[in-house]
Amino acid sequence: MALKKINPIQTQAWENLQEHFKTIKNKKMVEMFQEDDGRVDKFHIKWNKFYIDYSKNRLDDTTKKLLLELCKEVDLKDAIKKQFEGKIINVTENRAAAHTKLRSLNKPKEVEAALEKMKIFSEKLIHGEWKGATNKTIQHVVNIGVGGSDLGSQMVLEALTAYQNHLQVHFVSNIDGDHVHEVLKKIDVERTVFIVVSKSFATQETLSNAITIKKWFANNDFTEDDISRHFVAVSANNEKAKNFGILEENIFPMWDWVGGRFSLWSAVGLAICCGIGYKNFTELLGGAQQMDEHFESTPFDENIPVILALISIWYNNFFETETEAVIPYSQYLQKFIPYLQQGVMESNGKNIDRNGKKVDYQTGNIIWGEPGTNAQHAFFQLIHQGTKLVPCDFIGFKQSVHGNKEHHHKLMANFFAQTEAFLCGKSRKTIEKEISHLSVEEQEKIKAYKCFEGNKPSNTILIDQLSPETLGSLIALYEHKLFVQGVIWNIYSYDQWGVELGKQLASSILQQIDKGEIKEDLDPSTKSLLQEFFAK
């Protein structure tokens, strides 16, 4: 019951798209709007608290029709069905990718049990019922993890800062000892609970940091028995967690059918639950569940993740853009971009297809960005007047969280203005009018530099307000988008073998560093670098 193995470039739809691309690649979007009064009505989706405008893209009715035909030829509907049924679609690791079960209305019993355990634990911390070894209440929570065991929780808590309670949540992820030191400076050891998040309880970065913190804990006059009052775990390896000193009742589960980068919805999100409270955590799950339902049941021509995925494929594989920018007009969403970088690039950065053959077309997208309006004063120059075509997703909100209308109106004025500027640019005629007061010589000198070609594509995602519910929907939207892309590209989105190679080599090099010996089989560059390192 695995996913079907259909090479997209061998489909009739792909061939038709290639022919169609020749006729549309140089067409101006402004002309498309002039030729079709109903363009906005046709190329937008209104759903729940979301309004998606994708009319500012270099596509027309034919493009959309052919992209939807591509969905049929690769049998996207069957792939979506299999994912929601929990079939083993991560074939190379022999696993399901059933993270949607974590937020479904009919959750598995083990998920319900884990959520109840998270509720009890988080409420004990929040209400001061959980006491440390010196009988003091908890003020700090430190999440010790890396990758999916860190980034998702960090992103959500920063995005929902306005919903946080009195608990101060910190994150230790990088194996950099300076990073650990700086976090430990901020906390009161007597009032801190540490959450060690590792499926295997053997991840080098996480375990090294946990052991360092455990030693620091002991150096503050705490005993081995006190560990149980200050350390809990989220892991699939109960024995290793217990050997560390964590009580079995304080170990929260992880499952093979949940990939790390999709795990914030599970007990991996325990830090979220502590920081914003269980009720807000369930609203986050509820928002994701609503997007799941939309994705699973909505026809593809009105399906937000499907449409955005198809647009992304259109640019990546036909315009050969390679990158796309995500620009949220909310400082709260600063970590949303690195979160998407992990989700998208770890999932779809593959060059072997589901047939085991090397692909001969582009997969994956390089995701980058920064919140507006900061982005406008940084890299927008390249998008406006550079030589590269960069499709953009603009994410904005009708209302601010704290209700400062003056600031929010200025923010959103920039939000709307930039998408208009990308579309329309600035013509030579307009510039000539602006600089008509200058001499002819001065006009000729600067005219070309002030021109903006426009015709830069963008999607606009306009949401009522940032909340746990709408954030859940937004995250799930991009999860499903990357899945659709992976299905069409005929790759396995849910394995991550590329993460492992560096870890294996690091283990070997660490042994050489510890012994002060350099192996002869190292490449010349790495050998030279190690020699320089030893000379410090």
Express each pLDDT in 3-54 by its tens digit.
999 999 999 999 999 999 999 999 999 999 999 999 999 999 999 999 999 9
The per-residue pLDDT for 508 is: 85
d(CA 281, CA 472): 9
The per-residue pLDDT for 510 is: 87
CB 266 within 8 A of CB 255: yes
Taking only the tens place, the pLDDT of each residue in 126-185 is: 999 999 999 999 999 999 999 999 999 999 999 999 999 999 999 999 999 999 999 999
The per-residue pLDDT for 287 is: 98
Mapping DSSP to helix (H, G, I), strand (E, B) and coil, where does residue 20 land? helix
Taking only the tens place, the pLDDT of each residue in 446-476 is: 888 888 899 999 999 999 999 999 999 999 9
The per-residue pLDDT for 436 is: 85
d(CA 153, CA 269): 6
> Token pair 């670098």 is at which residue?
529
The per-residue pLDDT for 330 is: 98
- The vertex-482 CA angle with 288 and 357, nearest 5°, equals 145
The pLDDT > 70 percentage for the chain reads 100
The per-residue pLDDT for 524 is: 93
User: What pairs with residue 452 in β-bridges?
Assistant: 426
Q: Assess whether pLDDT exceeds 90 at residue 214.
A: yes
Beta strands in 98-238 (DSSP E): 140-144, 168-172, 192-197, 231-234
d(CA 41, CA 249): 55
DSSP 239-302: HHHHHHT--GGGEE---TTS-GGG-TTTGGGHHHHHHH-HHHHHHHHHHHHHHHHHHHHS-GGG
DSSP 189: G
User: Where does residue 322 fall: left (phi above 0), alpha (psi -120 to 50 degrees), or beta otherwise?
Assistant: left
Q: How far from chain centre, in Å, is Cα 431?
A: 40
DSSP 102: G
Half-sphere exposure (CA, 13 Å, Cβ side) for 49?
20
- Letter string b/e over residues 176-200, b meaning 16 or more CB atoms within 10 A of that residue's CB: eeeebeebbeebebbbbbbbbbbbe
- Per CATH, the number for 99-283 is 3.40.50.10490
Q: Torsion over CA of 150, 155, 160 and 166, rounded to 10 degrees?
A: 30
Q: What would the mean pLDDT of 274-287 be, rounded to a whole number?
A: 98
pLDDT band at 89 (very low <50, low <70, confident <90, very high): very high
Q: Assess whether pLDDT exceeds 70 at residue 527.
A: yes
What does the domain layout of the chain look like in residue ranges? Answer: 29-74+304-424+450-495, 99-283, 500-534
Q: What would the mean pLDDT of 309-316 be, rounded to a whole number?
A: 98
Mapping DSSP to helix (H, G, I), strand (E, B) and coil, where does residue 474 land? helix
Topology of domain 29-74+304-424+450-495, CATH: Rossmann fold (3.40.50)
The per-residue pLDDT for 224 is: 86
Active site residues: 346, 377, 503
The pLDDT > 90 percentage for the chain reads 86
Compute the chain's Rg from CA coordinates: 26
Q: Which two tokens stand for residue 30?
A: 């402004």
Q: Assess whether pLDDT exceeds 80 at residue 1.
A: no
Q: Assess whether pLDDT exceeds 90 at residue 413.
A: yes
Q: Taking the chain, what is the end-to-end CA distance rounded to the nearest angstrom?
A: 56
Taking all residues of the chain, what is their mean pLDDT, rounded to a whole number?
95
The per-residue pLDDT for 222 is: 92
The per-residue pLDDT for 463 is: 98
Helical axes 278-297 vs 468-488, angle rounded to 10°: 40
Q: Assess whether pLDDT exceeds 80 at residue 503.
A: no
Mapping DSSP to helix (H, G, I), strand (E, B) and coil, where does residue 361 land? coil
> Token pair 């608290």 is at which residue?
49
Question: Which of 57-61, 114-118, 337-341, 447-451 bottoms out in mean pLDDT, i.e. has the lowest?
Answer: 447-451
Q: Matching CATH topology for 29-74+304-424+450-495 and 99-283?
A: yes
Q: Assess whether pLDDT exceeds 70 at residue 107.
A: yes
Q: How far from chain centre, in Å, is Cα 66?
A: 28
CB 489 within 8 A of CB 359: yes
d(CA 284, CA 157): 11
The per-residue pLDDT for 317 is: 98
Q: How far from chain centre, in Å, is Cα 220?
A: 38
- This prediction has a pTM of 0.96
The per-residue pLDDT for 536 is: 65
CA 510, 513, 516, 517 torsion-angle sign: positive
Q: What helix, strand, coil percent values describe the chain, rounded to 5?
A: 55, 10, 30
Q: What would the mean pLDDT of 94-105 be, rounded to a whole number?
A: 95
